[in-house]
Amino acid sequence: MTAGLLLSTLLAVATGTAVPIPAEGGDSCSVRIRDARTDEVLVRERDPLLGAPEDGNNAPGPGSLRAVVRGGRPSYVIIVNTATGTSRRLCQGTQPRFSPNGRWIACNHWESSERPWNLTVVDVRSGNSRIIEHVGQIEDYAWSPDSKQLAFTSIAHDSSWRFNIGWIEAGSGSVHILASDDESNVEWMGLEWAPDDRRLLATRHREYEHDDSIYASDLWLFDLKARPCRLTHTPREDEDSAGWIDGRRIRYQSSGSRDDPSSDPRRYVIELEPERDRH
């Protein structure tokens, strides 16, 4: 860690009752899926700050700023101004993500072998940082468009290997668990917020390298005030590059069927039912 950097632990408390992720085939959203049009552009393609960077260790920031990772063990997050050619070391960590307002950077901080990967939020101007407790081993995270919330997926710091999906209030640090997944060989990734700051898109991937019959990949929708539901039922296909076009449309790419190597990737659009947008 850089000299003089104040690393304060934020004593957040996990709130809310986690909903268990149902077995394969359960809890479907009411949606329409069709082929994507060429003019259907994702929110993150219009504004890179509203999605995960293509390179996890080279993230765009406001204006000419970028957050890059340099070094080996330990690795450090460096703020680079591409217009002036200047840089400064911010903190120890990897996978930096600028908040859309440019005030914060979330990153992955190694603490110890017992608590390896921890979600850390750093004030870009002062360099002060805080570890978010009660989250577990962080896997993926994403800022809401208004910079007030951080979505995350994580593995519990115990022997259960349980995956949690939730969100954090950036101001208070309160942790809210939306759902838990106790299934084995599961990974949750690809988090992206809807433009309304209250819904999340995530990909659930389940695979066991020693048994090809254990395979599933589907998109899920999480609402901060409603139960999660499954958007796709294509267990033998991978959903890639999923993101929001607007508040009602989600675009994703299917990599083709695992059972048919000759099948071609295609882009699709999920149209949500209007009632999913009303509260």
Sign of CA dihedral 36, 38, 43, 48: positive
Tokens of 66: 């970028």
**Phi and psi, residue 275, nearest 5°:** -65, -20
Q: Cα–Cα distance between 201 and 191 in angstroms, integer?
A: 6
3-state secondary structure of 277: helix
In tens digits, the chain (279 residues) has pLDDT values of 332 222 333 334 455 556 767 655 557 888 999 999 999 999 999 999 999 898 999 999 999 999 999 988 889 999 999 999 999 999 999 999 999 999 999 999 877 666 778 899 999 999 898 888 778 889 999 999 999 999 999 998 776 788 999 999 988 889 999 999 988 889 999 999 999 999 999 999 988 777 777 788 899 999 998 889 999 988 778 888 999 999 999 999 988 666 666 677 899 999 998 654 444
Whether 54 and 35 have beta carbons less than 8 Å apart is answered as no
3-state secondary structure of 104: strand
Tokens of 96: 């930096």
**Phi and psi, residue 270, nearest 5°:** -95, 125
**Going from the N-terminus, what domains does the chain have, and what CATH number goes with each?**
7-25+48-223 (2.130.10.10)
Q: Cα–Cα distance between 52 and 212 in angstroms, integer?
A: 30
Whether 149 and 143 have beta carbons less than 8 Å apart is answered as yes
